Amino acid sequence: MDVLLLVGGKGTRLKSVVKDRPKPMAEINGRPFLDKLIEYAASFGHNRFILCAGHMWEYLADYYRYSDLPYKMVFSIEKSALGTGGAVRKAEKHILTEDFLVMNGDSFCPVDLETFKAFHHRNKSEVSVAVTKSKDIKDYGLIGFDDSYRINNFEEKKESPEEGFINAGVYLFNKRVLKRIPKNLKCSLEKNIFPSIAGENFFAYPVDSRVLDIGTPIRYDLARKYFSR
């Protein structure tokens, strides 16, 4: 199963500490954060990665073309920012498998990818989203689902004082969903695509894991401490 890595963002909030490279290439113990995601997915047998890159894509290309990682690395380059949804649609020509894994390039959440895939296939899902409970609804969005785990509500970055299930940034897609994403237009999975398919063939996969993201200097520091354990 191919793995799409969404690595095209500018990382504006992190620029005070990471100025010379794309956000997913921020250093963690001497290596890029993105290496951690790649090696985690590879530990479940994945060996073909599609990097959906835009901002400072040359940095990514230079690193992975000459790295010693034993995986196939493919680049889908955006000439202008397309957002997370547009990036997935642009990568369509590179995707060789009917189902594929999608991961945000600036966050990490330990998910058992084998059981996640079994869940996705059992439900014949177009999109499955790993979700985890958190009190930090504001920055991650609130996801509601029924007893069969079908998502009936997807609200990105909702203000709420309550604990709820949030998007963990790890997805399984079936190629059927690509036709729902406009071609060559900027759009967001979280703001445009996912809310539009709520109540359809769209499922939540709950995990008991914390989401680590490197979007701000404080969170970046927490991620460095996590991987130093």
What is the C-alpha to C-alpha distance for residues 63 and 125, in angstroms, rounded to an integer?
35
Q: Which of 124, 135, 138, 157 is catalytic?
A: 157
Q: Tokens representing 148?
A: 């069969």
Q: Is 157 a catalytic residue?
A: yes
Instruction: Tell me the DSSP string of the chain.
Output: --EEEE-----GGGTTT--SS-GGG-EETTEEHHHHHHHHHHTTT--EEEEEE-TTHHHHHHHHHS----SEEEEEE-SS--HHHHHHHHGGGG--SSEEEEEETTEE----HHHHHHHHHHTT-SEEEEEEEES-HHHH-EEEE-TT-BEEEEETT---SS-EEEEEEEEEEEGGGGGGSPTTS---IIIIIHHHHTTSSEEEEE-S---EE-SSHHHHHHHHHHHT-
What is the C-alpha to C-alpha distance for residues 84 and 87, in angstroms, rounded to an integer?
5
Residue 73's DSSP bridge partners are: 49
Task: List active site positions.
Answer: 157
